[in-house]
Structure 1
Amino acid sequence: MTVSFHVEGDFHPELPMRVLNLLAQRSLACETAAIVRVGDRYRIGVAVAGLSADQTSILVAKMRALVLVDIATVSS
């Protein structure tokens, strides 16, 4: 099953790298990734396959805890 993470936060060069680094630290590869700048905001979408429910909930919680993130959600 593929899950999609949706992150929105401040336009800052570190934000996309921090989000993707959470996946890289766990040796997870993205199925797709999209980074869009809307004014002074970033919208980031990342799809990852093969995650358990526990892994998904941990990752979205870590995304929400990032300093530059305002919103982080997940859908399957």
Structure 2
Amino acid sequence: MDTNKTKERLSINLDSELKKEVGSLLSDLGLDYTTAITIYFKQIAKKKKIPFELSTTSYYTIDEVAGQDWRNKVAEIKDEWE
């Protein structure tokens, strides 16, 4: 490890409950916040991207929920309107 590297302080604001929850999990792993953030930043630098998938909420199409042949099955549905 290069001990001559300059270090800087990073100050962030987090939800207090999230900080407590993550702190407990990190403790179980034998890590502290600084080590966890350093690991995260090193992965970003190494992979040149966020090291996990980010996405918006996925909305499913009717074909994904009911199957591609759902239109054929609609005619088979019996209802009280007939």
TM-score, length of structure 2 as denominator length: 0.27
Question: Relative contact order (C-alpha < 8 Å, sep 6+): which is higher?
Answer: 1
Q: Greater share of helix residues, 1 or 2?
A: 2
- Which structure: larger Rg? 2
TM-score, length of structure 1 as denominator length: 0.29
